[in-house]
Amino acid sequence: MLVQCTRLCLQVLRPTARSVTFSTSSRWSAAAKPVSMEDYTCDLIRNFSIIAHIDHGKSTLADRLLELTGTIKKKEVGKNEQVLDKLKVERERGITVKAQTASMIHTVDGRQHILNLIDTPGHVDFAWEVSRSMAACQGALLLVDASQGVQAQTISVFHIARERGLKIIPVLNKIDLPAAQPELLAAQMESTFGIDPAEIISISAKTGKGVDAVLKAIVERIPPPSGKTTGPLKAFLFDSLYDRYRGVISLIAIQDGVLKKGDRIASCHTRKKYEVTDIGIMHPEEIPVNGLYPGQVGFIACNMKESSEAHIGDTLHRPGTTVEPMPGFKPAKAMVYAGIFPVDTSDFPKLEESIKRLALTDRSVTIQRESSTALGQGCRLGFLGTLHMDVFRQRLEDEYDANIIITAPTVPYKIVYKDREVYVSNPTEFPDASEMASKVIEVQEPVVKASIIVPEDYFGDMMDLCYTHRAEELEHRYLDAGTGTSARIMLNCVVPLSEIVTDFFDQLKSRSSGFASFDYEEGGYKASDLAKMVFLLNGKPVDALALIVHRSHEDDIGRAWVKKLVKVIPRQMYEVPIQAAVGKKIIARETLSAYRADVTAGLYGGHVERKMKVLERQKEGKARMKRMGTVDLPQEAFFEIMKK
């Protein structure tokens, strides 16, 4: 069954997941009647997100907060499945991919408050989702693992939150672990961020210890949103989902005015007009409400058919009124591209449909059709990073039963011709040697500003890793100065993005025994000595195997790939040379020996001459096939090649 929206996926995926029981004690428990929201004035609302390095415990803390506020029933300690990590891939990999929203009720001094939590993903590929989530908040819980301390992404999310003017509540998590060092890490947070140690709350999200203090701090320290009920409607669209039946579901934060079912709204971005057909809050499941009031966060459905109509960062208003649009977001930019082809070429229409449907729930993927002589019809997709690519592939396989081949990832290169500039993300479109010589001024590649945090002992290994991946402008400084913790170093450098999308992250982890953390941001384009490497099977180039390589790596890459190819390509009736070439230069060669069918097997005894004749005929046949130049390369061989 093909399912389009995240919410519906949930239902399909539920059999594998522990079912979530919603508390009946909550005033909002799955009521049939819309919940009345007008009493929740701004002073009773807190909008916040949890920000942290990957795996520091955001989703676990979110679950504890949902339990403590009676939004969901308490579950056994030790169960790992998180309520807000809804996708199967998220549960399997233990990472958050898609930010989710949940509204909770918390009573303080007899007054019910609404706490709107926006869960954020932790991986660097999804930084866009993080900044998007923060835009609807006034505060953030900065979560740090008390056994690991501040990591590369802790620093980057801290800066995003500070730039957005959010009130930051520092929280040290996992204090139940024997390796936890809360006092030392409090000093580390003070020296890194200038945070007052007295403000830090120490908790164990796993056991629930200290989580009530977090709840208290959310209400006491995070400022309420501001907004006027009487002003013209102004709502900020910060996320969207896709529902098969209702179309696009937009998540909004009301700035001014009141929005109710049946109201007409208009988009500042597209100027299109809609009618609100459904309105509610995420509790974390949808609960219908009578309306959304200033400062509140909820969802609306309004007959938007295409995901592109819900422009993230858009401002919604009433038709006929003019409002100042709120500052939007920089759109997500694809950093990594790969071709996706069906293993069985006749499956292309089904695959294309599945990709389009999945992209409705993942707005950061870009799609273009692509065709390859070797792999047939397929799509070229743009992703935010390699983890994003991998997650999309897994979701295609899990949720749409797709059987696919995904080509080696490439980054968008800039080709500066004498008269124009062109971005190329498909190696087949990269200029060949003669075009390079006659028409191209230079080729530029995207670079990133990377930061690595690593214990001092691994510093040498990290420097080596950076050099072998063509890093430049290396700088380092000691963190934790004078805090008594073992010294850690922050290493900053500029690295080509193409180096990051291959094995950089795996090597970083293995060469630092898992202690290094890594983060990066865009760093523009730099001129580079790049070339197209093609692979020839029996003298013929195979388009799907072409790569763009840096000239300093061409020998290593060429040799490694022909070695790999010779292992996976099935033997043919004749000998097949496998070559890697850059321009006219052959970089590496392996020979696939012939599969020798024993044509003489049926000849018992008999004449040696007759045997020779048959063998001779076989040789001629082989030569003919070779001349025809057809190498039998099944899709499965590609599958093997593209696998790491």
Ligand X SMILES: Nc1nc2c(ncn2[C@@H]2O[C@H](COP(=O)(O)OP(=O)(O)OP(=O)(O)O)[C@@H](O)[C@H]2O)c(=O)[nH]1
Binding region for ligand X (CB under 6 A)? 52, 54-60, 80, 82, 94-96, 121-122, 173-174, 176-177, 204-206
User: For residues 88 and 113, which CB has a smaller minimum distance to ligand X in the complex?
Assistant: 88
Query: Residue 460 contacts by C-beta under 8 Å, 6 or more apart in sequence?
Result: none
Nearer to ligand X, 82 or 354 (CB): 82
Decide: 459 and 491 in contact? Cβ < 8 Å: yes
CA 198 to CA 209: how far, in whole Å?
Answer: 18
Q: What is the rounded distance in angstroms from the CA atom of residue 193 to the CA atom of residue 161?
A: 12
Radius of gyration for the alpha carbons in the chain, expressed in angstroms and rounded = 29
Closest approach, Cβ 200 to ligand X, in A, equals: 15
Q: Identify any residues that bridge with 496 across adjacent strands, giving them in sequence order.
A: 447
Least distance from C-beta 11 to ligand X, angstroms? 22
Question: Does 56 belong to an annotated binding site?
Answer: yes
- Tell me how far, at minimum, the Cβ of 174 lies from ligand X, in Å: 4
Strands 278-282 and 297-301: what pairing?
Answer: antiparallel
What six digits make up the tokens of 275? Answer: 């009618």
Which residue has 């402008």 as its token pair? Answer: 473
Q: Which is nearer to ligand X, 7 or 58 (CB)?
A: 58
| Closer by beta carbon to ligand X, 79 or else 584 | 79
Q: Per DSSP, what are the bridge partners of residue 279?
A: 300
DSSP-assigned letter for residue 516: -
Give the shortest CB-451-to-ligand X separation in angstroms. 18
Q: Which residue number, 214 or 641, has a Cβ lying nearer to ligand X?
A: 214
Number of C-beta neighbours around residue 527 at 10 A: 12
User: Which is nearer to ligand X, 177 or 187 (by Cβ)?
Assistant: 177
Give the residue with the Cβ less far from ligand X, 122 or 313.
122
CB 278 within 8 A of CB 252: no
222 assigned to a ligand binding site = no
Give the side-chain half-sphere CA count within 13 A for 195.
27
Report the nearest approach of ligand X to the CB of residue 114 (Å).
Answer: 23
The response to whether 629 counts as a known ligand-binding position is no
Q: Is 607 annotated as a binding residue?
A: no
Least distance to ligand X, CB of residue 146, Å: 8
Residues near 159 by beta carbon (within 8 Å), at least 6 away in sequence: none
Cα 251 → chain centroid: 20
E strands, 109-223, where? 111-119, 139-145, 167-173, 201-202
Helix (H, G, I), strand (E, B) or coil at 392: helix
Q: Is the CB of 104 or the CB of 404 nearer to ligand X?
A: 104
Least separation in angstroms between residue 319's CB and ligand X is: 39
Stated as kind and residue range, the H or E segment containing 234 is strand 234-243
**Collapsed DSSP state (helix, strand, coil) of residue 235:** strand
CB atoms under 10 Å from CB of 345, counted, come to 13
CA distances 248 to 160, 274, 354, Å, are 28, 12, 17
Closest CA to 576 of 533, 633, 532: 633
**H or E element, residue 558:** helix 554-568
- The sign of the torsion formed by the CA atoms of 238, 285, 359, 124 equals positive
Choose between 92 and 473: whose C-beta lies nearer to ligand X.
Answer: 92
57 appears as a binding residue in the annotation: yes
Annotated binding-site residue? 174: yes
Structure tokens that stand for 515 in this block = 């202690």
Does residue 295 have a known ligand-binding role?
no
- 121 belongs to an annotated ligand binding site: yes
State the nearest-atom distance from the C-beta of 523 to ligand X, in Å: 24
Percent helix, strand and coil across the chain, each to the nearest 5: 30, 30, 40
Q: Which residue is nearest to ligand X (CB)?
A: 122
Angle at CA of residue 440, ends 436 and 444, nearest 5°: 100
- Of 59 and 410, nearer to ligand X (C-beta) is 59
To ligand X, the closest distance from the beta carbon of 180 in angstroms equals 8
54 is in an annotated binding site: yes
| Residue showing tokens 């043919």 | 572
Q: Which two tokens stand for residue 191?
A: 């020296």
At closest approach, how far in Å is the CB of 49 from ligand X? 12
619 is in an annotated binding site: no
CA distances from 438 to 136, 424, 442, 528, 531 (A): 52, 18, 11, 17, 14
Is residue 257 marked as binding? no
Least Å from the CB of residue 119 to ligand X: 8
| For ligand X, the closer CB: 100 or 538 | 100
Between 91 and 526, whose beta carbon lies closer to ligand X?
A: 91
Output the DSSP codes for 284-325.
SSEEEBS-B-TT-EEEEE----SGGGS-TT-EEE-TT---PP
> Least distance to ligand X from the beta carbon of 514, Å?
14
Nearer to ligand X, 317 or 395 (CB): 395
To ligand X, the closest distance from the beta carbon of 108 in angstroms equals 24
Q: Is 437 annotated as a binding residue?
A: no
**Annotated binding residue 173:** yes
DSSP secondary structure of 245-269: TTEEEEEEEEEES-B-TT-EEEETT
Return binding residues for GTP: 52-59, 119-123, 173-176
Return binding residues: 52-59, 119-123, 173-176
